[in-house]
Chains A and B, each alone.
Chain A
Amino acid sequence: MSSRTMSGRRHGAARTPLSGGRVLAVAGRVVALALIVFFAVGPVLWMVLSSFRPADELFRSDPTLVPSSLTTEWYAEVFDSEALRWFANSLVVAVCTTTVSLIVGTAAGYAVTRFTFPGRRILLACLGVAYLFPAILLLVPLYLVLVTLGLVGGLAGIVIAHLTVTLPLTTWLMKSFVEAVPRELEEAARVDGLGYLGSFIRVTLPLLRTGLATTAMFSFILSWDEFLLASVVSQGDSMTAPVGMAGLVTSFDIRWGAIMALSTLVTVPVVVLFLVLQRYFEKGLTAGGVKG
């Protein structure tokens, strides 16, 4: 990888014999790195660990770091509850949102990159504004619109709400991925007799595979994580996982074991996607993949 060769340049000088000062500098660096990794990962480890600890180990005023026994009772409790429905809702919403915003976003991203047409600049400007626009400012009007349409309380309403978050991003990301595909390839295909649609589907689309995967992943994660809009739109049976989980902490008897099991479960898909697609993930993140 390029990072290896490029960052090696400054530390390549360390091949000289080790002096005391250099050893100390390296040791300091290792300690600082360990501390920062602990700070970043510690809470997540604690979440997973807590989800496997029996109740008498969780609820004590002098908690120990290392558990003396592990249990899966919290997961059994969670799988026996309505939480499964929340996860099913979240999955349906995230898949629908991703599908719609990927199709519409790819078409629009392709259009603004490859074609000139009236309104192109306006569309680009709106895209930028929509991308920066904080969701909380959209809360009231979006809610009123969904009430008028009779979509509050259903999954379709949540999908529409989530599209306001994902669509600007998917369009933006797909625009940058289309820009990276050489225009000449399509033109050559058109010379060979393929139409606009044909050259797009046969030539450009296959080259956009990684871009599409990256964009789909971000869209899925955004929808899967989204709490604000879903908390207002979803009710009762249509609650998504974040909305349902947020309601668990208000009660007097807080079942932390079950809550940590749910937190772990909601995290697993995201972290798996992240680890599988990590190279694309970094690219998408720096392109502004996640708000907030």
Chain B
Amino acid sequence: MVSTPAFLTRGPVGQRQRAGLALALPAALLFAAILGYPLVESFRTSLFSINLLTGDAAFVGLDNFGALARDQALLSTLGRTVLWTVLSLAGQLGLGLAAALLIDADWPGMRWIRQFLLIPYVIPVIASALVWQWMLDGHYGIISTGLQSWGALQPGVSPLGQEGTSLATVILINIWRGFPFAMLVFWARMQGIDRAQYEAARVDGAGPWHEFAHVTLPNLKSAAVALLALRGIWTLMYFELVWLLTRGGPAGSSETLSTYIYKVVTGEFRVGYAAAIASGTGLLLTTAGLTVWVLTRLRGRWRHV
């Protein structure tokens, strides 16, 4: 005899399960409709050659994925995306750690300073992008004209408009925007460090540097790993800042994967190909995520044995 699922039974257990289902249902349906279905649709789209302008759609199988491998621009974009991610994260975590150490003091007004330092992360990215564009404007911008008068920059030129400096400038602005988050996470973790560890270090005659390296840093390791994982994914595919600052230019010198996908969709209307890049990236990220997850589980198991 087939047993009835618990949520169909009478009595308190069934009732509880039905209540849970009813509450979760709207979210589950919405997730399925606006996240699940589009993802499936994305993979299906990647098997077609679709032109939004002409409305043509033809099934091409895996041709789009074959085109991925031959796309030279995509290859150099991938390299730039990795550079953008690694340097942004290094800068954000480094500066974030320095800022966290600086605000970790019992000085009057320190709470306000902490709030001020969070501002770059809090304000809308459109405002950040516009004010940096303004400050870096080649003719009237306060930073660009300053650099020009020192001879560090050619007259009438913006660092965002030079092939050699555009990516570095965008990365610098991303560090400005992201470091407060790393600071907050590090600082919050520092508040939880057991003071006995510092006292023990001091009894052993440790100086401030030794205290930092042997007490503070090891305690921040888990926070740093979490930051790297989460911000790694988001920085890798972070679109707004790059697009609003340079549109990936000039001449593709600050193009990252996300701006490339956007251009293929909105500029070239090659939806199928864009879906193929997105699906490929999604698969790559999922594989990487699963690998890390499995590895950490395995390591955890070995440790318990």
Contact = CB atoms under 8 A, between A and B. Distances in A.
Given A116-B20, A136-B261, A137-B281, A286 B184 contact: yes
Contact of A112 (B17, B24, B274): B24
User: Chain B contact residues (Cβ within 8 angstroms of A): what range?
Assistant: 35 or more
B198 to A, nearest CB: 6
A10 B39 CA distance: 51
Given A11-B106, A115-B16, A137-B282, A256 B134 contact: yes
B73 interface: no
B75 interface: no
A127 B31 CA distance: 8
Given A116-B20, A144-B45, A4 B239 contact: no
B176 A40 contact: yes
B130 A286 contact: no
Contact of A232 (B7, B42, B198, B266): B266
B111 A1 contact: yes
Contacts, number: 299
Contact of A33 (B28, B102, B239, B275): B102
Interface stretch (A67-75, A76-84, A207-215, A240-248): A240-248
A282 B35 CA distance: 28
Interface secondary structure of B, over-half rule = helix
A118 B6 CA distance: 9
B213 interface: no
Interface in B7-32: 7, 16-21, 23-24, 26-28, 30-31
Interface in B78-132: 95, 98-99, 102-106, 111, 113, 115-132
Contacts of B237: 134-137
B234 interface: yes
B65 interface: no
A37 B113 contact: yes
B261 A263 contact: no
Interface in A29-66: 29, 32-33, 36-37, 39-41, 43-44, 46-47, 50, 58-63, 65
B16 A270 contact: no
A2 B42 CA distance: 48
B262 A7 contact: no
A196 B201 CA distance: 53
B191 interface: yes
Nearest to A164: B34
Given A108-B26, A260-B131, A144 B278 contact: no
Interface string A162-191: 011001100100000000000000000000
A266 B127 contact: yes
A123 interface: yes
B126 A142 contact: no
A288 interface: yes
B5 interface: yes
Given A7-B105, A120-B20, A141-B42, A246 B126 contact: yes
B161 to A, nearest CB: 12
A6 interface: yes
B28 A108 contact: yes
Interface string B152-194: 0000000000000000000000001000110011001011000
A58 B181 CA distance: 32
Nearest to A136: B258
A99 interface: no
A285 B45 contact: no
A260 B130 contact: yes
A37 B126 CA distance: 21
Nearest to B26: A104
A107 interface: yes
B126 A227 contact: yes
Contacts of A270: 122-124
Contacts of B243: 227-228
A202 interface: no
Contacts of B104: 7, 10
A110 B23 contact: yes
Given A108-B26, A139-B265, A242-B124, A228 B240 contact: yes
Nearest to A6: B191
29 contacts: A1-B111, A4-B106, A39-B176, A40-B176, A44-B120, A46-B134, A47-B127, A47-B131, A59-B140, A107-B24, A116-B16, A123-B28, A134-B238, A135-B239, A136-B257, A137-B278, A141-B37, A141-B38, A141-B41, A141-B42, A160-B34, A164-B35, A227-B125, A232-B266, A263-B131, A271-B123, A290-B181, A292-B234, A292-B241
Interface of A: 1-4, 6-12, 29, 32-33, 36-37, 39-41, 43-44, 46-47, 50, 58-63, 65, 103-105, 107-108, 110-112, 114-120, 123, 126-127, 130, 132-145, 160, 163-164, 167-168, 171, 196, 221, 224-225, 227-228, 231-232, 241-242, 245-246, 249, 254, 256, 259-260, 262-264, 266-267, 270-271, 274-275, 278, 281-282, 285-286, 288, 290-292
Q: Which 4 A-B pairs have the closest CB atoms?
A: A115-B20, A108-B27, A134-B237, A141-B38
Given A118-B5, A256-B137, 6 more contacts: A7-B105, A44-B120, A47-B127, A119-B21, A167-B31, A262-B130
